[in-house]
Amino acid sequence: MTQSTSSPFRGVGGIFTNVKDLGNLQEAVKEALEIKNNRYAYKQLGENKTLLMVFFNSSLRTRLSTQKAGMNLGMNTMVLDINQGAWKLETERGVIMDGEKPEHILEAIPVMGTYCDIIGVRAFAQFENKEFDYHETIINQFIQYSGKPVFSMEAATGHPLQAFADLITIEEYKKTARPKVVLTWAPHPKALPQAVPNSFADFMNEADVEFVITHPIGYELSEKFVRGARVEYDQMKAFEGADFIYAKNWAAYQDPNYGKILSTDRNWTVSDRQMAVTNKAYFMHCLPVRRNMIVTDDVIESPQSIVIPQAANREISAQVVIKRLLENI
């Protein structure tokens, strides 16, 4: 069996919510590639252990890949859909509970903790209260009150399992030692959270890549995630010589427009026009994707589109995280 190269996660029992929680990023990617070649090497780690996945929002890739990752490690897996079949949960303290929510999350969380060994949580930003969202109130309540290791399956401000899978994919497909990676905003009919672009920036800023973010004025992300990345408002200029193009929509972050749609300009839709100035770049997207809003049919169906291998690596990123959590129980 391959020896683990993991570093302990932060917090009591282990937590995974951002790139820093992985420790050495090169070692994490190396471990991921080793696991991809032998997915069942650590089945004994999860024997007689239970993974609980708690979903406050819909999911396809996250649910299937994370459940498969747990099963690869020998775990029993349970899924709880909070909005389908469970009691509606109140999430804030001090609320007089005389409405339609009969249970408070502060009782529900420790109860969940009694039935499992590790908890994954998926809870999107609501765009009702920026402070509530950016304090990661819901997942932090699980961390504080469950008594169990907790990892993010996408929270209000980050989607680290996705970003880790993205990094694995870039490592597999890169043709140069230090590729140019461009995160581009693209239009969408609905206001979407900043979680995916935030985490992608979080990971790319720690990776050995040339990282550029491009978007219309007004769509600036939090400096916490942008850090030293180059921000370019001219999309065509940003695409020049790029090796990877990552398209994603997000709603405005900056006040007073938090959570709002400021543009639906389809000139930002990724098409052959933009891809022509790249270095035969690979196209990436976290899926699901709105065709001919985010990206044209021709681009996403082209040989340079790696959205399916990218999605497949969600299983691998989740397995590395769960494996490390199991090792620290």
DSSP string for residues in 91-120: -STT----SS--EEHHHHHHHHHHT-SEEE
**Taking Cα atoms as reference points, which of 14, 17, 323, 308 lies closest to residue 154?**
17
Q: What is the pLDDT of residue 88?
A: 79
Domain membership of residue 319 (yes or no) is yes
Kindly give the residue spans of alpha helices, DSSP state H, lying in the chain: 25-37, 61-72, 105-114, 130-134, 137-145, 160-173, 195-204, 223-226, 235-239, 272-275, 297-300, 307-327
Residue 81 sits in which domain range? 15-158+314-327
- 41 shares its domain with 134: yes
Query: Is there a single domain that holds both residue 138 and residue 187?
Result: no
Same domain, 74 and 126: yes
Residue 27 β-bridge partners: none
Let me know if residue 25 belongs to a domain: yes
Q: Is the pLDDT of residue 1 over 90?
A: no
End-to-end CA, the chain = 20
For the chain, the domain total comes to 2
- Radius of gyration over every alpha carbon of the chain, rounded to an integer in angstroms: 20
Q: Are residues 118 and 170 in the same domain?
A: no
Q: Domain check: are 198 and 70 in the same one?
A: no
Indicate whether 128 and 169 sit together in one domain: no
213 within a domain of the structure (yes/no)? yes
Across the strands, what pairs with 247? 184
The three-state secondary structure class of 132 is helix
Check pLDDT > 50 for residue 202.
yes
**What pLDDT was estimated at residue 100?**
80
Q: What is the torsion angle, in degrees rounded to the nearest 10, for the CA atoms of residue 131, residue 136, residue 138 and residue 139? A: -170
pLDDT one-digit tens code per residue, 93-124 = 888 888 787 788 888 899 999 999 999 999 99
Confidence of residue 151 (pLDDT cuts 50, 70, 90): very high
